[in-house]
Amino acid sequence: MRMKNTCFIPTILLGLSTLFLAANPALSQSAPTEGISKIHEITSTWDDGAAIAPSALLATNFGLLRALPSGVSTRISGLEAVVTALASLPGEPQKLLLSGYSKDKTALGVMKSEDGGKTWQDFSLQTTNGAEPVALRSLAISSVDPNFVVGIMDGLELSRDGGKTWQASGKLPEKTFKIAPSSLDTNTIFAATMTGLKKTTDLGATWSDAYPSTEPTTVVSVLGNGRVLAFVFGTGLVAANESDLKWQTLSANFESRYLLNIDANPNDANQLIATADTGAILISSDGGDSWTSFEGSDNASLASLARGKQIFEGTCQACHGTNGIGEDPGNPSARDEFGFKAPALNNDTHAWHHSDAAIKMTVQNGSSRNSRMVAFKDTFSDQDINSVIAYIKTFWTLNSLACQGGRHGGCLGK
């Protein structure tokens, strides 16, 4: 199928409406995920045999949010709080713990859910000295013993009863971002810190280097299969078996971006979900070697990408060029008698400045910037258009994926 001289030209459709929850968050329960610039922690749910996570739970300043591949997040009702820590029980993602602050800025303690976050109940209201509830800024549950939970408050906090009671233990390296309990025992903990990846085998009494670099390590995650993943700034995502810690670099193509959280499918450790420093959610199906966007991932199957490629090459490529290089590469302001020429859809110009929903709206309704960009809503189905957008995003680097939509302003020049 081919329509000659018709072109995709995304228009700027984003504005204040892209901000997650407007001035009064209580008035809105759902909004574009691109409005979230900071995700404290993430857990994901996976269906058996699913190629992608159908949803992810996000600990944010807006509360606990459920994010979908559609690009929309919904706030979990009945939990009006700033959620700073979130963890799921290894192998049982429906069982969750969280911590943070209530609306009046008092510590929540630890709350638990046994139904995937639909309902929550108070679980721990006691600190080490019993004076006030904990307000943890990171949580992780051991895959060796589900009763062993580690957290970060002012220092290292440990629980031996599944998060009900807590005790300060040892010390943490200065500027620790994340901690992860060992997959081998309940004495060993890894810490991602400003001065590298550290390891303790005595519950924080002493620490040693776990990776040969003093560069900032922004996240560490120990998977149930004994695999340790860490993001080392300037190197990328590294991995090793915990039993020998022989490290290899999985991916170094993060440009100026870095990961802050990593979660894995308990049934398939190759399927990962992560958050970037921009707040973007990324996924990997090959254990971390390559990454793509969670937004639109439900339209990025091999069959869908093949369909998108077919439509792009038959309809869009005539104007936008092979691999989306644009009608007049290097001259984004070029015009013809109909208006602006078809822009590049790769990394060269601003295609990635728009969300999937914004691009889709332009494809469906056409653009006033050039009359050759006609409306395709009566030509292609919603799924066909979704497939084309998913294919266009294969032209983008990880930096563009992590900076897509409303996040792009914070990425310019970085």
Buried b (16+ CB within 10 A) or exposed e, 212-227: ebeebbbbbbbbeebb
Determine which of 237-241, 287-291, 345-349 has the lowest per-residue pLDDT on average: 345-349
DSSP 393-412: GGGS-HHHHHT-GGGGGGTT
Write down the pLDDT at residue 128.
55
**What's this model's pTM, rounded to 2 decimal places?**
0.88
6 belongs to a structural domain: no
Of 308 and 408, the one with more pLDDT: 308
Same domain for 234 and 350: no
Residue 126 lies in a domain: yes
My answer on whether 119 and 227 are in the same domain is yes
Cα 319 from chain centre = 33
Q: Distance (Å, rounded) from C-alpha 282 to C-alpha 188?
A: 28
Whether residue 263 lies inside any domain: the answer is yes
CA 54: distance to chain centroid?
A: 13
| 266 or 135, greater pLDDT | 135
Q: Is residue 15 part of a domain?
A: no
- Average pLDDT of the residues in 357-372: 89
Same domain, 270 and 312: no
Read off the DSSP letter of residue 313: I
- Dihedral sign computed on CA atoms, order 64, 69, 71, 74: negative
191 CA to centre of own chain? 20
| 266 and 324, same domain (yes or no) | no
Place of tokens 């009608």: 327
Inside any domain, residue 23: no
CA distance 158 to 203: 9
User: 105-150, pLDDT tens digit by residue?
Assistant: 888 899 999 998 888 988 876 655 556 778 999 999 999 999 999 9
Same domain as 310, residue 271: no
190 and 156 both lie in a single domain: yes
> Quick check: is 294 in a domain?
no
**Higher local confidence (pLDDT), 119 or 26:** 119
Predicted pLDDT of residue 222: 96
Q: What is the pLDDT of residue 78?
A: 79
Domain count, the chain: 2
Residues 158 and 307 both lie in one domain = no
pLDDT range class, residue 5, cuts 50, 70, 90: very low
Q: What would the mean pLDDT of 204-227 be, rounded to a whole number?
A: 96
Same domain as 328, residue 267? no
Contact 188, 199 (CB under 8 A): yes
pLDDT of amino acid 127: 58
| pLDDT tens, position by position, 155-213 | 999 999 999 989 999 899 999 999 999 999 999 999 999 999 999 999 999 999 999 99
Given a contact cutoff of 8 angstroms between Cβ atoms, the answer to whether 372 and 6 are in contact is yes
For residue 30, tell me if it sits in a domain: no
Give the model's confidence band at 12: pLDDT under 50 very low, under 70 low, under 90 confident, else very high.
very low
One domain, residues 356 and 227: no
Q: What is the CATH number of the domain that holds 267?
A: 2.130.10.10
Name the one residue in this structure whose structure tokens are 């914004």. 358
Structure tokens at 393: 């995003």
Domain of 119 in residue numbering reads as: 38-277
Beta strands in 147-291 (DSSP E): 149-152, 156-159, 167-168, 176-181, 189-193, 196-200, 208-209, 217-222, 227-232, 236-241, 248-251, 259-265, 268-276, 281-284
Whether residues 214 and 319 share a domain: the answer is no
CATH number of the domain residue 373 falls in:
1.10.760.10
Q: Over 70: is that where the pLDDT of 17 sits?
A: no
Residues 132 and 251 in one domain: yes
Three-state DSSP class for residue 272: strand
- 60 with 136, same domain: the answer is yes
Average pLDDT, the chain: 87
- The confidence score (pLDDT) of residue 52 equals 66
Residue 223 lies in a domain: yes
Model pLDDT for residues 307-361, shown as the tens digit of each residue: 999 999 999 999 999 999 988 888 888 888 888 888 899 988 778 999 999 999 9
